[in-house]
Amino acid sequence: MRVIFHDILNIMPLGQARQVESLEALLSEADFVTLHVPESPETLNMISVDELACMKRGAYLINNARGKVVDIPALIDALQSKRLAGAALDVYPAEPGSNGAPFDDSVNKWSTTLRQLPNVILTPHIGGSTEEAQRMIGEEVSTSLTRYLNYGSSLGAVNFPEVDLRAITAEEGEHVRVCHVHNNVPGVLRQVNELLSPYNVEKQYSDSKGDIAYLMADIANVSPQDVNKLQSLISHTSANILTRLLV
């Protein structure tokens, strides 16, 4: 198999895979197109009328990424006109809400037409609902919560800023990690950094998501007497939501 791929970033290929310059170049060359993207404003209907027209006649489309990445009515037209040889989907813009609920036109107005096409494979979007997946999800969630409680890391958060710093080692000596959740408003970093100015800031990282922002900073040479005082000072800043100091 000859593998080509397109990404918005230049990334190192694996094996003999080759990166192409544009999505259009990939669509015009690939016999099978698979999608591996998140749902975002940039990926909404990223495969629609124009993109399907770029695909090789007789090609196949596989989407197990996100349901809104593909314009399904446009895909139906491409399949009915025989431009595409077939498609396989296990994600949809709207999906049944429970076990046993029908997948019909009450869910998506084109569901019946899509189900009747002979050159389509449709599978339910339940990969995360198997016993094995649920066990792995439980392990991942508990590990993430432990990392947040012990180290302040929020990597993998969905509705919260993703912030992480490497763990403090014993060789680095006396350090305190500041974990400051605050409203995403101007001037917060200036306020906090003024309070941290008496200390040596070893590492600092901040990110925001919507109205919430999260700052982590590792500072050195903080005496035990200063820990509670510093936490109180940061907690009383105007935008504070939650401040923790990890010693």
Nearest to 199 by CA among 223, 215, 222, 179: 222
CA distance 115 to 104: 9
CA distance 185 to 183: 6
- Which segments of 100-233 are extended strands (E)? 120-122, 175-183, 200-209, 212-220
- According to DSSP, residue 23 is labeled H
CA atoms within 13 A on the CB side of 187: 4
Nearest to 105 by CA among 94, 119, 90: 94
For residue 194, give both structure tokens: 């003024």
Nearest to 1 by CA among 24, 25, 34: 34
Catalytic machinery residues: 66, 95, 125
